[in-house]
Amino acid sequence: MSVPLFNLAPNLTVSRLCLGTMTFGEQNSLPQSFHLLDEAFSAGINFFDSAEMYPVPQRAETQGRSEEYLGRWVRNRKISRDRVVLATKVTGPSGQMTWIRGGPMCLDAWNITKAIDNSLLRMQTDYIDLYQIHWPDRYVPMFGETEYDPIRQFSSVGIEEQLDALGRAVDAGKIRYTGLSNETPYGVMKFIQTAERASRCPRIVSVQNSYSLLCRNFDSGMAECCHHESLLAYSPLAMGILSGKYFLPDGGSAHARLNLFKGRYSEGESRYNMSNSIIKAASMEYLHIAGKYGLHPVSLAIGLISFLSLPHAMYTHLMKKYHAIYEVMVICAWYYHLKHILSSMNGASQLMGALSLECL
């Protein structure tokens, strides 16, 4: 059965599943990447996401390969450009990836413009369908952090300058639509507000944030924002944990990402620490439910994320019909209840790291 489609924006129809290319060029070779792309395209997936900093773990020698592999696949397979939707991202400030424009140090107009031009060259395409800011220029809690610390604020590039640069790229035909990633409700609304005030600034059409049964941050403030702006949920399998492979007697294949890059992939390990008892307990409960109802754990994890974005009436109907979905909702509610009990206890601040929404 082909993957269903939906309209992400006017004249932008995408498959409900998007294939990310974050591992192409590091964990996956060129032939392996082509095989994965072929399989996805044959199944009806037309939506492919990359980023200029990929693959991960990021390093100078491989930077840009994911975009390059994606572009080479489209050319090699002689796929008409209008049959695929290509998305990529500009790297936010880090200061650590010195091989990307010296850090990059900020997300000003010059950095955004240079990033777009370089991505177009690597992907061998005339335009990018969806161009996203990988993470904000300003300080926000991300990549496993959940609490905002105002002391860590710093001077950042204005949103109007960023949108103006993106708008110029739209006018030049280099990109079609713009989106955000790893954003907060405040950031989403400021981008929308700024675009409404300035006529030449493009309105964002999507937000790509982490969302899975082990990462439920989105269910608070972001859920309201994305009732109006589309969510592109990344890492629905929580970096493979929800597949169950890391709970096998041998701990999973040596080629599995969290094993292969152990100690080298801080962003992933900070989110999903396998020694965290809460993460393990929740994962084992989900695996138990999948087994009880004869579902593959991957089907349960991805299906639930799709299910949770349904209109309320359909959500309620299906909840009563499918017992596996109901049991998952009960477990989620139980962990939320446990979190609130602990938060009312003395010294709870020392426990909240393991029981934050990131872990649920």
Could you list the active site residues?
A: 54
Instruction: Supply 65's token pair.
Output: 């390969």
Q: What is the length of the chain?
A: 360
Phi and psi at residue 265, to the nearest 5°: -130, 75
Q: Are strands 12-15 and 85-90 parallel, antiparallel or unpaired?
A: unpaired
Question: Strand, helix or coil at 186?
Answer: helix
Q: How far apart are the C-alpha atoms of 354 and 359, rounded to whole Å? A: 7
Strands (E) in the chain, as ranges, are: 5-9, 12-15, 18-20, 47-49, 85-90, 128-133, 175-181, 204-210, 230-234
The answer for residues whose C-beta is within 8 angstroms of residue 110's C-beta and 6 or more apart is: none
Q: Give how far Cα 77 sits from Cα of 9, 19, 104, Å.
A: 27, 17, 34
Residue type, position 82, single letter:
D
Residue type, position 124, single letter:
Q
Residue 183, CB half-sphere, CA atoms under 13 Å: how many? 28
Instruction: Supply 67's token pair.
Output: 């975009």
* DSSP result, 222-282: HHHHTTTSEEEEE-TTTTTGGGTGGGSTT-S-TTSHHHHTTTT-HHHHHH--TT-HHHHHH
Residue with tokens 């979190």: 339
Instruction: Supply 149's token pair.
Output: 């610390």
Q: Do 3 and 17 form a contact (C-beta atoms < 8 A)?
A: yes
